[in-house]
Amino acid sequence: MQKKSILIIEDSKFITSFIFKSLKNDYDISSSLDPEEGLRKYFDEQPDLVILDIMMPKINGIEILKKIKDFNPKTGVIVTSGRTLAQDYQLAIESGADFYLFKPFSPKRLQQVVDNFFSGTLKLGSYEELVEENKKKAKISYLPPKHNKNSYIKFWGTRGSIPVSGKEYISFGGNTSCLEIRRNDELIIIDAGTGIHGLGYDILNSGIKTIHLFIGHTHWDHIQAFPFFTPVYIDHFEINIYAPKGFGMSVEDLFSGMLRREYFPVKLEEMAAKFKFIELADFKPLQFGDIKISYDYTIHPGITFGFCFEIDGKKIGYATDNEFLTGYHSDPHKIKDNDSILEPYRHLIKMFKDCDILIHEAQYLPQEYESKVGWGHSSIPNAVALIRLCNIKHWIVTHHDPIHTDDFLKNKLQIHRNILKEGNIDCFVELAYDGLKIPM
Ligand SMILES: [Zn+2]
Ligand SMILES: [Zn+2]
Sequence-distant (≥ 6) Cβ neighbours of residue 175 within 8 angstroms: 156, 157, 158, 159, 163, 193, 194, 195, 197, 198, 434
Distance 321 CA to ligand 1 centre (A): 5
3-state helix, strand, coil in the chain (%, to 5): 35, 25, 40
Identify the burial level of 138 via C-beta atoms within 10 angstroms of its C-beta, where 0-12 means exposed, 13-18 middle and 19 or more buried.
Answer: exposed
Element housing 394 (H / E): strand 394-397
Ligand nearest to the CA of 320: 1
> pLDDT tens digits, residue range 220-240?
999 999 999 999 999 999 999
Element housing 36 (H / E): helix 35-45
Identify the burial level of 196 via C-beta atoms within 10 angstroms of its C-beta, where 0-12 means exposed, 13-18 middle and 19 or more buried.
Answer: buried
Distance 377 CA to ligand 1 centre (A): 9
Ligand nearest to the CA of 363: 1
> pLDDT tens digits, residue range 46-104?
999 999 998 888 888 899 999 999 999 999 999 998 887 889 899 999 999 999 998 88
Distance 113 CA to ligand 2 centre (A): 74
Distance 7 CA to ligand 1 centre (A): 75
Distance 279 CA to ligand 1 centre (A): 19
Percent of the chain whose predicted confidence (pLDDT) is above 70: 99
Pairing assessment for the beta strands 238-244 and 151-157 based on DSSP bridges: unpaired
Strand partners, 141: none
Q: What SS3 class is residue 425? A: coil
Q: Which of 303, 398, 297 is nearest to 350 (CA)?
A: 297
- Whether 299 shows a pLDDT value over 90: the answer reads yes
Distance 432 CA to ligand 1 centre (A): 15
- Whether 138 shows a pLDDT value over 80: the answer reads no
> pLDDT tens digits, residue range 359-372?
999 999 999 999 99
Distance 119 CA to ligand 1 centre (A): 81
Distance 170 CA to ligand 1 centre (A): 20
Q: In angstroms, how far is CA 407 from the centroid of its own chain?
A: 22
Ligand nearest to the CA of 161: 1
- Whether 397 shows a pLDDT value over 90: the answer reads yes
- Whether 141 shows a pLDDT value over 80: the answer reads no
Distance 394 CA to ligand 1 centre (A): 22
> Residue 260: how many CA atoms within 13 Å on its side-chain side?
5
Q: What SS3 class is residue 298? A: coil
Decide: 401 and 364 in contact? Cβ < 8 Å.
yes
Average pLDDT over residues 407-422: 98
Decide: 114 and 23 in contact? Cβ < 8 Å.
yes
> pLDDT tens digits, residue range 125-134?
888 888 888 7
Distance 304 CA to ligand 1 centre (A): 10
User: What gap in Å lies between CA 239 and CA 192, rounded to an integer?
Assistant: 12
Q: If pLDDT is split at 50, 70 and 90, which confidence band does 1 have? A: low
Q: Output DSSP code: residue 144.
A: P
- Whether 379 shows a pLDDT value over 80: the answer reads yes
- Whether 155 shows a pLDDT value over 70: the answer reads yes
Average pLDDT, the chain: 94
Average pLDDT over residues 310-329: 96
pLDDT value for 24: 79
User: What gap in Å lies between CA 306 and CA 294, rounded to an integer?
Assistant: 9
Q: If pLDDT is split at 50, 70 and 90, which confidence band does 119 have? A: very high
Question: Torsion angle of alpha carbons 223, 323, 384, 392, nearest 10°?
Answer: -60
Ligand nearest to the CA of 304: 2
pLDDT value for 187: 97
Distance 321 CA to ligand 2 centre (A): 6
pLDDT value for 242: 96
Q: Which residue has the higher pLDDT, 158 or 302?
A: 158
Decide: 15 and 81 in contact? Cβ < 8 Å.
no
Average pLDDT over residues 266-281: 96
